[in-house]
Amino acid sequence: MFFRLVFNFKRTDLCHYCETSLKLKNELSEMKKAEYLDEEKENNIIEKIKCIDYHYEIALRQKEIYNAYRTNPEMLTEDQILIDIDYKQKIYYGKISPRQITSEFYSYGSCSCLGFGIYYVDSRFNNTTKQIERFVNCYNINILCDDTSQTAADFINAFRHLRNLDLFKKIEKKKYIIFTDTAKQFRCAEVCHYLLVELYKENIQVSFNFFGEYHGKVIEKFC
Ligand SMILES: [Zn+2]
C-alpha cells in the first residue's frame, strides 16, 4: 500500500510589492493568451511591473553591498566597521509551570533582544604563505532592552550602552557603516539625529543604510 504525503508549504512573510508584480505578470500573460488587444492597458501594466521590479533591484543591490562588506577585507578600510542591527526576539520570563495562579501569570517580565553584528578588518599570520593577511572578523553582541515595545529610545539607549562596552571600544573605528531593516524604530528622526548628529559631534562618521523594504538581508522572490 502506498501513501502519498502532502505537505502544505505556506509562506506568510511575502513581500506585497513582489506579489503584486507576480499578479500583474499573470494578468499580462492571460491577456496575451486570450489575444485581448488593449495596447494602453498592456503598456500601463508593463510600466507598473517595471516600477515594482525596480524595488527588488534596490533590495538586491543593498544585500550585495552588505555581503561584500561582511566578507571582503578589501571593501572595509582600516578606519571602518560595519554594524548590522536587528531585533531578534521578545523574551518573557517568570515562573513557568503547568499550574499557575493568576498573580503568577501577571508577574511575567518581558524584554527585547537587540542584536549587533560588528564586522571589522583584522589581520593574522598565514603559515603557508608566510605573510600577514587581512580578513573580516565579527563580534555578535546581544543587548537586552527592558521592554518589548522596541522603541527608537530603546534602540538609542542600547547603542549608547554598546559604545561603552570594553569589547566594542577595542574594535571601534571612526567610521560606522550601519545596516538595519526598515522597521519604524530605526527609520525615524530620533535615530537619524543620534547617528548622524550626536555621533558626528564625537567625530564619528556614519553611513546609515536600510535593507530593501519587505526583504531584509535575505532576498527571496517567487515571481
Ligand atoms: Zn519585493
Q: Which residue has the higher pLDDT, 85 or 99?
A: 85
C-alpha dihedral (120, 85, 190, 76), degrees to nearest 10? 20
Pick the CATH number of 77-210 from 3.40.30, 2.40.170, 2.40.10, 3.30.420: 3.30.420
Query: How many alpha carbons lie under 13 Å from residue 102 in its C-beta half-sphere?
Result: 0
CA of 49 to the centre of ligand 1 (A): 11
pLDDT at 3: 59
- Tell me, rounded to whole angstroms, the distance of Cα 154 from its chain centroid: 18
pLDDT at 39: 83
CA of 87 to the centre of ligand 1 (A): 21
Mean pLDDT throughout 119-146? Answer: 92
Q: Is the pLDDT of residue 96 over 80?
A: no
pLDDT at 223: 41
Integer-rounded Cα Rg, in Å, for the chain is 24
CA of 221 to the centre of ligand 1 (A): 7
- Please identify every residue whose CB atom is under 5 Å from ligand 1, which is an ion: 15, 17-18
From CA 191, how far away is CA 151, in angstroms rounded?
10
CA of 62 to the centre of ligand 1 (A): 13
Q: Which residue has the higher pLDDT, 114 or 108?
A: 114
pLDDT at 69: 94
From CA 60, how far away is CA 219, in angstroms rounded?
7
CA of 98 to the centre of ligand 1 (A): 42
Beta bridge partners of 177: 82, 207
Mean pLDDT throughout 1-27? Answer: 77
Q: Is the pLDDT of residue 222 over 60?
A: no
CA of 214 to the centre of ligand 1 (A): 6
pLDDT at 149: 79
CA of 148 to the centre of ligand 1 (A): 27
Kindly give, in sequence order, each residue whose CB lies less than 8 Å from that of residue 198, ignoring residues fewer than 6 positions away.
Answer: none
